[in-house]
Structure 1
Amino acid sequence: MVVGRHAARAYIGSFTAAGGRGVTTAAFDADTGALTVLSSTDEVADPSYLVLSPAGDTLYAVSETAEGAVAAYRVGDDGPRLAGAPVPVGSAPTHLALHAGHVLAANYGSGSVAAVPLRADGTLAAAPSSVLRHTGTGPHPQRQQGPHAHQVLADPSGRWAVGVDLGTDSVLVCALDAAKGDLTLHREVALRPGSGPRHLAFSPRGDRAYVLNELTPTVTVCAWGAADGTVEPLAEVPVLAEVPDGDAYPSGVVVAPDGRFLWTATRGADVISVFALDGENGLPRLTATVPCGGHWPRDLAVDPSGRYLYAANERSGNVTWFAVDPATGIPSRAGSVEAPAASCVIFG
């Protein structure tokens, strides 16, 4: 979690095609966890996922449309404003990250990861410097007929770009040449066929990666080796004590800043699952599930202090925040704010 120049702000992404306001700026009360909406901008369609520059002065967003693009915004006291035209990257980008002077975008529709160079002022170059296309399929007849890159992020060491592909049941470790902008595949590691990995979160100490699977409600625990960019699956743990008869699609996964707890969100079941993390081996133990405070929680976020947890509830159109019990990690609902078609929350 990044705390930048605007330390009392949160930014909410949403789907404008479903009535969302685009990028919403909210005041963040660090004492109570409360969010208060200040402004919004719909200059870019469907900005479903956001990331903030380390300095806190530039916000980046995907445009999760069929055409697919990433956009940069200048952050000011009156909210973010678009800085240059959005840059096409591939179909339906669902996630983006900053790495080695580039914005990386995971393109679900085209099954690829694009690298867009950043100019010295933080704005985007006119086109990607590299596009790495995934290959492969999985056993699910509708969801895995081809690759579907769902997330990409930098590992804690800053050496690697790590992606997950729902369509190929794999974790991909990539190297990015910062000078040339070339993104190359270093290693691809297969997970259980049909698991459908969606998102990944690293442990604070940087030796574990927790892969949340969408097609089966589980978390795959992996050993992460930053020195050689290695991924070793260790265990697969259910995120629900009982799988309901209806929909149950895990969406977001976050680890507490102190590394003691892990939380996941599951759409359909509309719950947040709480795990205690073993201090030695990092294996998660399910301790509780609580209602997410809405319907269809698309993503989870934890505030920089680790005291509050946030669920972006897409279909009920709200962001709900929870006070985290420091002893158990169990969140208790503390408040909610209207946010139509909400998809993510970040702090800056």
Structure 2
Amino acid sequence: MDGSSAERAFMGSFTSAGGPGVTVAAVDRDTGALTVLGASDAVADPSFLALAPGAAVLYAVGESAPGSAAAFDVSGDVPALLGPVRPVEADGPTHLALAANHLVTANYGSGSVTVLPVLPDGSLGEVASVVRHEGGGPDGERQEGSHAHQVLPDPSGRWVISVDLGTDSVRVGAIDPATGVLEPHGETALRPGSGPRHLAFHPAGRLAYVLNELAPTLTVCRWDAGAGRLEPLGETPVLPESAAADSTVRTYPSEVVVAHDGRFLWTANRGHDSISVLTLDESGEKAALVATVGCGGHWPRDLTLAPGGQWLYAANERSGNVSWFAVDAETGIPRHAGSVDIPGASCVVLG
């Protein structure tokens, strides 16, 4: 791979909605087009995926009750289970990430974070630790308790960040590489009722952008890796005023992606069925909405930017397709270029 483009794409989908499970596709470097090669339904509802760096191993959550996590050998065109499917001792895992030689899952249903060891062959060991979150928020239907929605390492690799929609907060912890114990370090409160869902870091590593699901906004935060501390700076709408004020269509933003050069930021917006384009100033602390474009389907659950930044992919869950867009290098505005049918599409990972 020349570093400017991905060679393959891995797509997760809800098998309960007729999806094929974990799908492997070839990526055309010139057009961004995806061609399906094979799929595995060995795990129910593999809604989110993570690819091991420099290795042909892909990890998936099983977003079910009880929830699970699994490793796949993806050296071929059809994913093959690598080791046993592991329980995560929680319900509804919605996200996962690799950190400190472990796999970490965010468990929406149980409001917890689970840590599993990654064994030398890439397979998963049994659960090493589970941290359960406490609290809730003002939205009685969605925030009756904790709902951990995303987990990811910070750019320094020292900290593990978990975004909790139910408690309107972002939590910071650290994993002991030897034991897999996740030690809580701190918690940052965001605006009550905002429902933070996912977070993405600025490429310089000093800022983080939290996308809020219950309010279609983006919270810009300063990140201090030395102290392991997140500081909210301000909140920016991700929809035009007319769309935000439309009471007939409620929008639930799902994913946030930052350009590799830090000039642009994109969000996927379910309900409005759009991709929002925001510009970032030179400091990265000011975000401004400049455009929205159609997502190429219905209910965009995930967004992924190609390694070279020229292609953007959207997994449209309810229309059952993955769309790709050519990104204008000057404006950041995506132009729809094609799509492939993936029933229950929920996630796209490039590698």
Task: Tell me which interval the TM-score lies in, with the shorter structure as reference length.
Answer: over 0.9
Matching of residues 326-345 of structure 1 within 5 Å? 326-345=329-348
> Which segment is superposed worse, 28-37 or 318-327?
28-37
The Cα of 1:275 is off from its aligned counterpart by 0.5
Who is 1:55 aligned against?
54
CA–CA separation in structure 2 for the residues paired with 1:342 and 1:328: 28
The Cα of 1:155 is off from its aligned counterpart by 0.6
CA–CA separation in structure 2 for the residues paired with 1:3 and 1:66: 41
Who is 2:107 aligned against?
107
Q: Which amino acid aligns with 1:278?
A: D
Who is 2:66 aligned against?
67
Q: Which amino acid aligns with 1:219?
A: L
Who is 1:222 aligned against?
221
Who is 1:82 aligned against?
81
* Conservation of the 8 A alpha-carbon contact between 1:3 and 1:347: no
Who is 1:131 aligned against?
130
**CA displacement 1:182-234 (0-9 Å, x = unmatched):** 10110101000000000000011101110000001000000001111110000
Where does the alignment leave 5 or more consecutive residues of structure 1 unmatched?
Answer: none
The Cα of 1:122 is off from its aligned counterpart by 1.1
**CA displacement 1:114-168 (0-9 Å, x = unmatched):** 000111111100x211101100010001100100000000011111000100000
CA–CA separation in structure 1 for the residues paired with 2:180 and 2:238: 38
* Conservation of the 8 A alpha-carbon contact between 1:61 and 1:70: yes
Who is 2:273 aligned against?
270
CA–CA separation in structure 2 for the residues paired with 1:309 and 1:284: 19
The Cα of 1:62 is off from its aligned counterpart by 0.2
The Cα of 1:283 is off from its aligned counterpart by 1.6
Q: Residue 283 of structure 2 aligns to a residue in which SS?
A: coil
Q: Residue 79 of structure 1 aligns to a residue in which SS?
A: coil
The Cα of 1:7 is off from its aligned counterpart by 4.8
Matching of residues 149-164 of structure 1 within 5 Å? 149-164=148-163
Who is 1:122 aligned against?
122
* Conservation of the 8 A alpha-carbon contact between 1:50 and 1:96: yes
* Conservation of the 8 A alpha-carbon contact between 1:3 and 1:56: no
1:259 is aligned, of 257, 262, 279, to 262
Q: Which amino acid aligns with 2:97?
A: A
The Cα of 1:180 is off from its aligned counterpart by 1.4
**CA displacement 1:233-256 (0-9 Å, x = unmatched):** 000001001213212000011001
Who is 2:139 aligned against?
140
CA–CA separation in structure 2 for the residues paired with 1:279 and 1:32: 30
CA–CA separation in structure 1 for the residues paired with 2:321 and 2:77: 22
CA–CA separation in structure 2 for the residues paired with 1:29 and 1:256: 21
CA–CA separation in structure 1 for the residues paired with 2:271 and 2:163: 22
Number of equivalent positions: 345
The Cα of 1:79 is off from its aligned counterpart by 2.5
Q: Residue 131 of structure 1 aligns to a residue in which SS?
A: strand
* Conservation of the 8 A alpha-carbon contact between 1:196 and 1:213: yes
* Conservation of the 8 A alpha-carbon contact between 1:148 and 1:167: yes
**CA displacement 1:263-321 (0-9 Å, x = unmatched):** 00110110100001111243211010001000000010101100011110000000110
Q: Which amino acid aligns with 1:176?
A: I
CA–CA separation in structure 2 for the residues paired with 1:17 and 1:291: 26
CA–CA separation in structure 1 for the residues paired with 2:122 and 2:11: 21
Matching of residues 294-309 of structure 1 within 5 Å? 294-309=297-312
> Which segment is superposed worse, 215-224 or 31-40?
31-40
CA gap 1:40/1:281 in 2 versus in 1, 3 angstroms? closer
